[in-house]
Homo-oligomer: A and B are copies of this chain.
Amino acid sequence: MESTAVLRRFNRTYTQRIGALDESFLGLGMPLASARLLFEIGGAQPVTVQDLRARLGLDSGYLSRLLRGLESRRLVELSPDPADRRRRVAALTESGARLLTDLDDRSDALATRLLEPLSERQRARLAEALATADLLVRAATLEFEVVDPASPNARLAMGHYFAELDRRFEGGFDPGPLTEADLATMRPPGGTFVLARSDGEVVACGGVQSLGEGVGEVKRMWVHDGWRGAGLGARMLRRLEDDAAALGHTVVRLDTNATLTDAIALYERSGYASVARYNDNPYAQRWFEKPLSAPAASTRRPRG
């Protein structure tokens, strides 16, 4: 069966069998929107109203009303943010925390009840299938965005990248201090820096810098551990190539360490050819290059 058909069939099954149950149960005693709000507040304790609005995608007036509802039932407490007294931060009260645990238990009980008719083996199969689907659905709905390499999220992502290299290289890895000059290479006109985020969490990154007339270099490409197997590396690489082409590069290079076999496999799969050493990076043992086709100025859409 075609994959769109499978998706649509599943969608029907799902909304009929699970969605409906979920909504009727979860909300028991309170509207669904309030319950969701409570969950969201409980997730990352003191959270600003602004944050909640962004995460739940609610109208400010509506959210305000919902909050006041929870406040009047003494489930949450709002107080001005000392750092910016226009902002208000929400936190659960004790009874709010208790209710949240309660809702959580109820949701758990519902899930258990739903799975109950299945055998242990089938439950495991279902869990595996859902985990796969979860990963891929998240991957399909990722957001790529160009950010300044000096922004907090970009620094965070590069931090993950360096930490991973340090773990994987035999003698460890020392990036040295992250200088402003270094960051500046990944800004226009010759460079760029791209993040992939899911639910606000940074899950992948990558940069491009210019090596001179028409030559770009892919740098700092990293994918979150929990996101391996979703083709994120390939998508990020494609995205960086597209961006490099848009910046006027006609060829991209990259270097890598011989221990990063998965990355090397990705480069080879993606049409990169081994070339001779083109820099003096002491951590690099392999160098690659790939010609870029010129971006079709008007028809080109950013992929991924």
Q: How far apart are the CA atoms of A9 and B124 in the complex, in Å?
A: 15
Q: Say whether A142 faces chain B, with CB atoms less than 8 Å apart.
A: yes
Given contacts A7-B111, A11-B18, A22-B11, contact A118 B132 (CB under 8 A): no
- With most chain B CB atoms within 10 A of its CB, the pick from A19, A116, A140 is A140
Residue-by-residue, is A122-140 near B (CB-CB < 8 Å gives 1, otherwise 0)?
1111111111111011111
Asked if A117 is at the interface (CB within 8 A of a chain B CB), the reply is yes
Q: Which of B115, B234, B235 contacts A3 (CB 8 A)?
A: B115
A17 on the interface (CB 8 Å rule)? yes
Name the distance in Å between A116's Cβ and chain B's nearest Cβ: 8
Alpha-carbon gap, A107 to B136, bound state (A): 19
Within 8 Å of chain B (Cβ to Cβ): is A276? Answer: no
Q: Does A141 contact B (CB under 8 A)?
A: yes
Q: Which of B3, B15, B128, B140 contacts A127 (CB 8 A)?
A: B3
How many chain A residues touch the partner (CB < 8 A)? 54
Q: Which of B2, B114, B133, B304 contacts A129 (CB 8 A)?
A: B133
The one of B1, B116, B122, B139 that contacts A131, using a Cβ cutoff of 8 Å: B1
B117 pairs with A14, CB closer than 8 A:
no
- State which residues 25-62 of A face B: CB under 8 Å: none
Judged by a CB distance under 8 angstroms, whether A8 is at the interface is: yes
Give A residues with C-beta under 8 Å from B: 1-4, 6-11, 13-15, 17-19, 22, 107-108, 111-112, 114-119, 121-134, 136-142, 230-231, 234-235, 303-304
